C-alpha cells in the first residue's frame, strides 16, 4: 500500500525530474526538492521576468499563474508544481491577454523601476477575470500584497481601473 | 535564504502520507498550501528531512453536508470560502472572515486544514472554528477521532494534533434560521494580521439571545472564547447596558501578553471597541 520508498530519505539533495507546461510549451527539468519555483523559472528556464524580492510571500514580485490562478512562486517548491500549467509574465505578454493593461501602465507611468510590475500585472489580470468592474477600493484591496517602492500606487490603481472600464465597454479617460 | 535540503514525497492516499511520516521517524512535515510552511523552511526555522505533499489526496478534498454538519475537507482553500455556495449558506461566518485572510494570491493556495493545524493565534479561521463550535476530524496512526474546537487549541502553536497526525476535515454545525453572526477585525492595513479580531455566533429567540459564542484572535497565545462576556449576554436582549456589561467582562476574559509591540492595555481597549461594534451590528439584525 505504501508507495513510499525509504531510500528517498537518504537522497535529500538529489535532483528529481519535473514536467510543466510553461507558457504553453512542455518543458522538463531537473530540480532539487528545496528549489523554489521562482528559482527554477529564473535559473533553469531563464524566464527572468518573474522577480524574486522578499522570498517569503510579502512583496508580490514573484506572482505567476499556476493552473490559471495567481500564486507566489517563492511560496511553492518546483517539485510541488510537477504536472502543472504555469504562465509567467513572458507568456502573458506574448499571448497579448494583458496587452491593454501593459499599455495603460505605460501610458500612466504606473511603473518606474519596474521591479514590481510583473506581479502587479498578474494580480490585476486575476482581479479583472473575477470582478468585471472593481471599485478603486476593491483594486486597492486586491493589491494589498504587492509592494511598489516607486510609484505611490495611485497610477497603478488608475491604470487598472481604466482597463476594467474599457474591457466592459466603457470609455477610458 | 534557501531551505535546507529535504526529500519530497507526494502522497496519493492518507495511508501513504501517515506511513511516510512514520518511516521518516517523524522528522517530516506535511505540506498543504505551503503558505506558512515554505517561508518557515526558507528562513530555516524548520528543517525536516522529508516533506510530504498532501495536496493530491482526494479524501481531504470537498465540501458536503453530513449529519447536521458541513464537512469542509482540510484541503479547501481560503479562496473557496468565498466562492463555494454551501459554505456561504451553511457556514457564513467562514465566508465573511475569508476576505480578511492574507492577500488574494495567498488565499489561492492556503488551506483551512493548514491554518487550523498551524493554530496561529493571529489567524482568522482557527478562532472561527471556536465561535462555530466546530469539530476537527483527525486521522493518524491510531485511527480517526473528532475533537471539539474548544479542546483543540492548547497553547501557542500547540494543538491536540499529535506528530504524524493529519487533519482530514473541519465539521461545522449547519447555520440555522434562528442564528445570527458577526465578524470584523482591526488591522493596520488590509491583509495584515489583525491587531484584534473577533467572530460571533448567536442563537436568538426574537431579540433575546439564547446562546452566544464569541471568539477573539490576536489577543493571546491561542484563539480565545470570552466566556464572561458570553454569560453577560445569554438570556438577555442586546441593549446598550448589556453590551456595556459584555465589554466590561473582557477585562477578566482576556490577558493580552506583555512585551508585545502592542501594549496589553491597548489591545484590551481595541477588543472592547470591536466587541461593542459587533454586538451593535448583531442587535440591528434583530
Ligand atoms: C504574507 C502572508 C500573509 C498572511 N496573512 C495571513 C492572515 O492575515 N491570516 C491568516 O490566517 N493567515 C495568513 N497567512 C497564512 C496563510 O493563511 C496560510 O495559508 C495558512 O496559515 C496555512 O495554510 P497552508 O495550507 O498554507 O499550510 P502549510 O503552510 O502547508 O502548513 C502549515 C502547517 O500546518 C501543517 N499542516 C498543513 N495541512 C495539514 C493537515 N491537513 N493536517 C495536519 N497538519 C497540516 C503543516 O505541516 C505545517 O506545519 C499569511 C501568509 C503569508 C505568507
Ligand atoms: S518574492 Fe515572492 S512575495 Fe516577495
Ligand atoms: S515601479 Fe519600482 S517597485 Fe514598483
What is the CATH number that goes with domain B58-173?
3.30.465.10
**Residue-level pLDDT at B166:** 98
- In contact, B103 and A145? CB cutoff 8 Å: yes
- Answer yes or no: is pLDDT of B286 > 70: no
Please compute the mean of the pLDDT values over residues B194-204 and round it to a whole number: 97
Instruction: Please provide the DSSP assignment of B183-214 as one string.
Output: EEEE-SSTTSPPSEEEEEEEEEETTEEEEEEE
Closest by CA to B142, choosing from B11, B9, B22, B13, is B22
**Residue-level pLDDT at A172:** 52
Topology (CATH) of B7-53: 3.30.43
Residue A9 pLDDT grade (very low, low, confident, very high; cuts 50, 70, 90): confident
Closest by CA to B198, choosing from B219, B180, B212, is B219
Residue A12 pLDDT grade (very low, low, confident, very high; cuts 50, 70, 90): confident
pTM: 0.96
A32-89 per-position pLDDT tens digit: 999 999 999 999 999 999 999 999 999 999 999 999 999 999 999 999 999 999 999 9
Q: Could you tell me the distance, in angstroms and rounded to a whole number, from the CA of residue A33 to the centre of ligand 3? A: 31
Answer yes or no: do A78 and A10 share one domain. yes
A139-165 per-position pLDDT tens digit: 999 999 999 999 999 999 999 999 999
**CA of B88: how far to CAs of B108, B116, B125, B174, in Å?**
17, 19, 15, 11
Of the candidate CATH numbers 3.40.640.10, 3.40.50.1820, 3.30.390.50, 3.30.365.10, the domain formed by B179-283 belongs to 3.30.390.50
Say yes or no: B248 contacts chain A, CB-CB below 8 A.
Answer: no
Please compute the mean of the pLDDT values over residues B218-223 and round it to a whole number: 96
**Residue-level pLDDT at A171:** 59
Q: What is the CATH number of the domain that holds A153?
A: 1.10.150.120
Alpha carbon distance B215, B76 (integer Å)? 22
**Residue-level pLDDT at B191:** 77
Strand, coil or helix: B217? strand
B11/A70 Cβ within 8 A: no
Q: What is the CATH number of the domain that holds A75?
A: 3.10.20.30
**Residue-level pLDDT at A173:** 52
For A18, the domain range is 6-88
Please compute the mean of the pLDDT values over residues A6-13 and round it to a whole number: 80
Please compute the mean of the pLDDT values over residues B260-269 and round it to a whole number: 93
Collect all residues of chain B within an 8 Å Cβ-Cβ radius of residue A13.
5
- Percent helix, strand, coil in chain A (nearest 5)? 40, 15, 45
Average pLDDT, chain B: 96
Please compute the mean of the pLDDT values over residues B251-257 and round it to a whole number: 95
**Which chain A residue has the Cα nearest residue B99?**
A141
- Answer yes or no: is pLDDT of B1 > 80: no
Q: Which protein residues are within 6 Å of ligand 3, measured from CB?
A: A 111-116, 148-151
CA A156 centroid distance within chain: 16
- Answer yes or no: is pLDDT of B203 > 80: yes
B29-71 per-position pLDDT tens digit: 999 999 999 999 999 999 999 999 999 999 999 999 999 999 9
Residue that finishes a domain, picked among A53, A88, A123:
A88
Q: Could you tell me the distance, in angstroms and rounded to a whole number, from the CA of residue B51 to the centre of ligand 1? A: 15
* Biggest CA-to-CA distance, chain B: 60
**Residue-level pLDDT at A6:** 83
- Answer yes or no: is pLDDT of A1 > 80: no
Residue B190 pLDDT grade (very low, low, confident, very high; cuts 50, 70, 90): confident
Say yes or no: B46 contacts chain A, CB-CB below 8 A.
Answer: no
**Which chain A residue has the Cα nearest residue B189?**
A144
- Answer yes or no: is pLDDT of A13 > 80: no
Name the residue of A39, A40, A57 whose CB sits within 8 Å of the most ligand 2 atoms, as the mutation to test its pocket.
A57
Residue that finishes a domain, picked among A58, A88, A118:
A88
Amino acid at each position: 500500500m505504501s508507495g513510499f520508498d525509504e531510500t528517498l530519505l537518504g537522497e535529500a539533495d538529489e535532483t528529481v525530474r519535473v514536467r510543466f507546461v510553461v507558457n504553453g510549451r512542455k518543458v522538463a527539468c531537473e530540480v532539487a526538492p528545496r528549489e523554489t519555483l521562482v528559482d527554477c523559472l529564473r535559473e533553469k528556464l531563464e524566464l527572468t521576468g518573474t522577480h524574486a524580492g522578499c522570498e517569503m510571500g510579502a512583496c508580490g514580485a514573484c506572482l505567476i499563474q499556476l493552473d490559471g490562478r495567481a500564486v507566489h512562486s517563492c511560496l511553492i517548491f518546483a517539485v510541488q508544481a510537477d504536472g502543472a500549467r504555469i504562465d509567467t509574465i513572458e507568456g502573458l505578454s506574448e499571448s497579448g491577454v494583458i496587452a491593454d493593461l501593459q499599455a495603460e501602465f505605460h501610458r500612466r507611468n504606473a511603473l518606474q523601476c519596474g521591479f514590481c510590475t510583473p506581479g502587479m500585472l498578474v494580480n490585476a489580470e486575476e482581479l479583472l477575470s473575477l470582478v468585471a468592474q472593481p471599485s478603486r477600493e476593491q483594486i486597492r484591496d486586491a493589491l494589498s500584497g504587492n509592494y511598489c517602492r516607486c510609484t505611490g500606487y495611485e497610477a497603478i490603481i488608475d491604470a487598472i481601473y481604466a482597463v476594467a472600464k474599457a474591457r466592459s465597454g466603457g470609455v477610458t479617460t | 535564504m534557501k531551505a535546507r535540503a529535504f526529500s519530497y514525497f507526494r502522497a496519493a492516499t492518507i495511508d501513504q502520507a501517515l506511513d511516510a511520516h512514520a518511516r521518516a521517524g517523524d522528522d517530516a512535515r506535511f505540506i498543504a498550501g505551503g503558505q506558512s510552511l515554505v517561508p518557515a523552511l526558507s528562513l530555516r526555522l524548520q528543517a525536516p528531512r522529508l516533506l510530504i505533499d498532501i495536496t493530491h489526496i482526494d479524501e481531504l478534498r470537498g465540501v458536503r453536508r453530513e449529519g447536521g454538519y458541513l464537512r469542509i475537507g482540510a484541503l479547501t482553500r481560503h479562496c473557496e470560502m468565498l466562492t463555494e455556495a454551501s459554505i456561504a449558506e451553511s457556514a457564513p461566518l467562514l465566508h465573511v472572515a475569508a476576505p480578511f485572510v492574507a492577500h488574494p494570491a495567498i488565499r489561492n493556495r492556503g488551506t483551512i486544514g493548514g491554518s487550523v493545524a498551524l493554530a496561529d493565534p493571529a489567524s482568522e479561521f482557527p478562532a472561527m472554528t471556536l465561535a462555530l463550535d466546530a469539530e476537527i476530524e483527525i486521522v493518524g496512526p491510531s485511527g480517526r477521532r473528532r475533537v471539539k474546537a474548544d479542546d483543540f487549541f492548547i497553547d501557542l502553536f500547540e494543538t491536540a494534533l499529535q506528530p504524524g497526525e493529519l487533519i482530514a476535515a473541519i465539521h461545522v454545525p449547519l447555520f440555522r434560521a434562528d442564528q445570527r453572526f458577526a465578524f470584523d477585525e482591526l488591522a493596520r492595513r488590509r491583509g495584515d494580521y489583525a491587531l484584534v479580531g473577533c467572530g460571533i455566533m448567536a442563537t436568538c429567540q426574537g431579540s433575546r439571545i439564547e446562546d452566544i459564542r464569541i471568539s477573539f484572535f490576536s489577543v493571546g497565545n491561542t484563539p480565545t472564547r470570552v466566556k464572561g462576556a458570553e454569560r453577560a449576554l445569554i438570556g438577555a436582549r442586546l441593549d446598550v447596558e448589556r453590551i456595556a456589561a459584555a465589554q466590561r467582562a473582557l477585562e477578566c476574559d482576556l490577558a493580552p501578553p506583555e512585551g508585545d509591540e502592542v501594549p496589553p492595555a491597548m489591545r484590551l481597549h481595541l477588543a472592547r471597541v470591536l466587541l461593542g461594534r459587533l454586538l451593535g451590528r448583531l442587535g440591528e439584525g434583530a
